[in-house]
Amino acid sequence: MKNVKNVHYWQVDHKIKRILTAEKVIVLTSPEAWKKFKWSRKWFERKPKEGYFVWVKKPINFPLAACITIASPKISQNLTNLLIIEKGIKTQANVVCNAAKSNLCGIHKAKGKIILKDSASLEYNHLHQWGKKDFVNPDYEFILGKDSRLIYTYKNLFPPENLLLKTTVQNNESSSSNLNFIINSINSKVGIIDKVNLFGQNSQAIIRLRLVGRKNSYIEAVSQVAASAISRGHLDCQGLLVDKTAKISLTPRLICQNKNAQLTHEASIGKISEEELNYLRMRGLTEEEAINLIVIGFLGSGESGIYNN
């Protein structure tokens, strides 16, 4: 997070560094919200120990921002997060979870619920950046009200030693969800389980996975779309193996319980094309630079300088 002055919730280890609340947006710690708003308990399921509560009550013209960091060795975070967007409100959330150093051996567990009420719209950018010995387990559920829209992008270019990422989306009537998982795995084990339930009439979902397997990495992804109403769903899972020690397992799963629902998928795992590699080398890029550029293009991030470290 470049400018912490704009961050609405900032936690380092277990300590709250900053909370920015306003009339239109209520920001609290989850334990405070549990005490203050009894109605929130049905979403929390059990009493939270730490984490953020963000309630967008009225339209806002700025993005929400949260930053959760592990900065000390052997910290174990156990977060319960709740984000509620009221009816008809359109907003963006940028959430960064990271380790300040690469050798902290931290644990980051986050159970989150994101509620989009009817006709609400959310673009949620979730950026993870971890150390080599961390264990990370985000488990998020998105509940989409009628006519609501979700674009969720999870990006992890610096994975921990062990990442287990669970995401569930419940699509109500005429709602749409667009999920993007962008993961570059190196010296790490990554498990991805994402499920979308299309139970609302005319709901739709797209899940897009872009996974890169580098040295000593194993990625296992199970992507599921289930339709019980007239709806449309598509899975697009693509893996790129960059190193001979990498392994990727992709399982696209379609479950259809409505004869008028339309579910499709495409899945592929490939290696870097020699032709592309040699082409870029003939533009003066070293083999490593050429691979990185191809990987950046594959991940669709279009960013530069992310592999400098």
Partner 1 sequence: MFLEIKKLRVKGDKREILKEINLKVKKGEIQALLGPNASGKSTLAQVILGNPKYKAIQGKIFFNGRDITKLSPEKRVKMGMALAWQSPPVIKGIKLSQLLKKISPQEIKIPDGQMLLEREINLDFSGGEKKISELLQILALKPKLVIFDEIDSGLDIKKLEMVAKIIKKELVDKNISVLLITHWGQILEFLKPNITNVILDGKIICQGKDFKKILRTIKKYGYEKCKKCPLLAG
Residues that bind partner 1 (CB under 8 A): 273-276, 278-287, 289, 293-294, 296-302, 304
- 231-241: strand order across its sheet: 15-19, 9-12, 64-70, 90-99, 121-129, 149-158, 176-185, 203-213, 231-241, 262-271
For residues 116 and 148, the answer to whether their CB atoms sit within 8 Å is yes
Nearer to partner 1, 45 or 287 (CB): 287
Chain-centre distance for alpha carbon 60: 23
Measured from the CB atom, the residue of 251 and 278 that comes closer to partner 1 is 278
Taking the least distance from each CB to partner 1, the nearer of 99 and 295 is: 295
Angle, in degrees to the nearest 10, between helices 274-281 and 287-299: 120
The DSSP letter of residue 2 is -
Q: Shortest distance, CB of residue 281 to partner 1, whole angstroms?
A: 4
Written as six digits, the tokens of 26 are 């209520």
Nearest distance from C-beta of residue 278 to partner 1, angstroms: 5
Minimum gap (Å) between residue 128 Cβ and partner 1: 20
Nearest residue (CB) to partner 1, 23 versus 275: 275
The percent helix, strand, coil of the chain (3-state, each to 5) is 10, 55, 35
Token digits for 131? 């150390």
Nearer to partner 1, 2 or 305 (CB): 305
Shortest Å, Cβ 288 to partner 1 = 10
d(CA 30, CA 52): 5
- Residue (164 or 285) nearer to partner 1, CB: 285
Q: Least distance in Å: CB of 242 to partner 1?
A: 15
As measured in angstroms, the least distance from the Cβ of 290 to partner 1 is 8
3-state secondary structure of 133: coil
